[in-house]
């Protein structure tokens, strides 16, 4: 039932996103969707192996692999990527000035990086993956009264409370707290750094733009109108061409009434 609810929830987001093309809503939806899926993942998946060497790999995979997947999906879903690629192939890349190329790549990466960073921040704030990955690297000599001569293997057992040897059970809370503190502090610093970076980028973009605020608005409206009209006109043009070619093969072409009207109108216009 929970899964069904989650799916409908996500579905509402997706449909809303396809209705409104606003960039800010889009980024907000990405972030919210990531939060929801991160919660879902933690409910049914994270399980530390508590074994030296494996811990690190597992924690890294649990944080890194979804982040990588989100990053690649973000790049693939962005139309600008494929615009840039075909531009490069047809007219050679060196026709783009350095600043334009930088701005384009920056925009693509910047939008693709929202989801993975949200994932990493939430993982760090929850602290489970970090605790699992780094417990074996805690230096036992920094703990008061900790029996010396303990190997990595024992330190690696701390994330699973049930597997810690009885004589070290008293240190569990302290190690847990210390690792969670580091994890959350790194998470918060990441949030602070991201906020500042986004703010500075936006300031720079606005300061070096030759257009004022209202002009920028008009320009974005013009572009979206042009895109819509271009696609609609291209569709009609392609249908017209196809109809002519079929006609030259069979001698006539079977169009339904609506298509015939549409084509007749634009044929006479062209």
Residues 137-176 touching its own copies, rule: CB under 8 A, are: 160, 162-163, 173-174
CA distance linking residue 106 with residue 65, whole number of Å: 22
First CA to last CA across the chain, in angstroms? 57
- Tell me the H-state helices in the chain: 2-19, 23-44, 54-77, 79-91, 98-112, 114-126, 128-134, 152-156, 172-208, 213-250, 257-269
Residues 21, 92, 139, 269: which binds its own copies (CB under 8 A)? 269
253-267 b/e (C-beta count within 10 Å ≥ 16 → b): bebeeeeeeebeeee
Query: Cβ(79)–Cβ(85) under 8 Å?
Result: no
By CB under 8 A, tell whether 14 contacts its own copies: yes
State which of residues 100, 150, 161, 233 lies at the interface with its own copies (CB under 8 A).
233
Stretch that binds its own copies, among 95-103, 108-116, 120-128, 133-141 (CB under 8 A): 120-128
> Nearest distance from residue 246's CB to its own copies, in Å?
5
Among 235, 256, 234, 253, CA closest to 244? 253
Residue from 26, 52, 56, 75 binding its own copies (CB under 8 A): 75
User: Per CB under 8 A, does 204 bind its own copies?
Assistant: no
Taking contact as CB under 8 A, which single stretch among the options 99-107, 112-120, 133-141, 177-185 is the one that binds its own copies?
A: 177-185
We find the least distance from the C-beta atom of residue 140 to its own copies, in angstroms, to be: 16
| 253 is a contact residue toward its own copies (CB under 8 A) | yes
Among 150, 234, 261, 264, the residue binding its own copies under the rule CB under 8 A is 234
Residues 41-70 within binding reach of its own copies (CB under 8 A): 44-45, 47-51, 54, 57-58, 61-62, 65-66, 68-69
Question: Which of 89, 94, 99, 257 touches its own copies (CB under 8 A)?
Answer: 89
Question: Measured from the CB of residue 147, what is the shortest distance to its own copies in angstroms?
Answer: 18
Q: Which range of residues in 92-100, 112-120, 133-141, 238-246 is near its own copies by CB under 8 A? A: 238-246
Q: Which residues inside 90-109 make contact with its own copies, applying CB under 8 A? A: 90
Assess 184 for contact with its own copies (CB under 8 A): yes
CA gap 217, 245 in Å, rounded: 42
Shortest separation between residue 70's beta carbon and its own copies, angstroms: 9
Report the distance separating Cα 29 and Cα 16, nearest Å.
9
Contact in structure between 117 and 194 (CB atoms under 8 Å)? yes
Total of chain residues touching its own copies, rule CB under 8 A: 115
Q: Does 78 bind its own copies (CB under 8 A)?
A: no
User: Minimum CB separation from its own copies for residue 170, in Å?
Assistant: 10
User: In terms of C-beta density within 10 A (0-12 exposed, 13-18 middle, 19 or more buried), how is residue 103 classed?
Assistant: middle
CA 27, chain centre distance (Å): 9
CA distances from 148 to 126, 168, 171, 270 (A): 30, 11, 13, 89
Contact 130, 183 (CB under 8 A): yes
């Amino acid at each position: 039932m929970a899964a069904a609810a989650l799916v409908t929830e996500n579905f509402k987001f997706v449909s809303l996103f396809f209705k409104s093309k606003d960039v800010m809503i889009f980024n907000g939806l990405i972030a919210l969707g990531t939060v929801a899926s991160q919660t879902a993942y933690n409910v049914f998946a994270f399980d530390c192996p508590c074994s030296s060497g494996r811990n690190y790999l597992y924690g890294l995979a649990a944080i890194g692999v979804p982040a990588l997947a989100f990053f690649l999906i973000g790049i693939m879903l962005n139309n600008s990527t494929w615009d840039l690629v075909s531009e490069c192939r047809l007219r050679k890349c060196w026709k783009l000035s350095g600043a334009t190329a930088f701005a384009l790549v920056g925009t693509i990466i910047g939008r693709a990086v929202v989801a993975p960073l949200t994932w990493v921040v939430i993982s760090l704030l929850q602290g489970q993956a970090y605790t699992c990955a780094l417990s074996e690297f805690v230096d036992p000599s920094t703990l008061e009264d900790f029996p010396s001569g303990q190997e990595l293997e024992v330190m690696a057992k701390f994330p699973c409370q049930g597997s810690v040897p009885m004589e070290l059970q008293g240190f569990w809370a302290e190690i847990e707290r210390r690792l969670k503190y580091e994890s959350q502090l790194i998470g918060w610093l990441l949030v602070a750094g991201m906020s500042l970076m986004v703010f500075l980028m936006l300031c720079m973009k606005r300061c070096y733009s030759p257009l004022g605020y209202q002009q920028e608005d008009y320009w974005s409206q013009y572009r979206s109108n042009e895109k819509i009209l271009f696609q609609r006109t291209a569709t009609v043009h392609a249908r017209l061409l196809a109809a002519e070619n079929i006609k030259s093969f069979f001698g006539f072409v079977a169009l339904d009434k609506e298509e015939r009207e549409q084509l007749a109108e634009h044929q006479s216009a062209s």
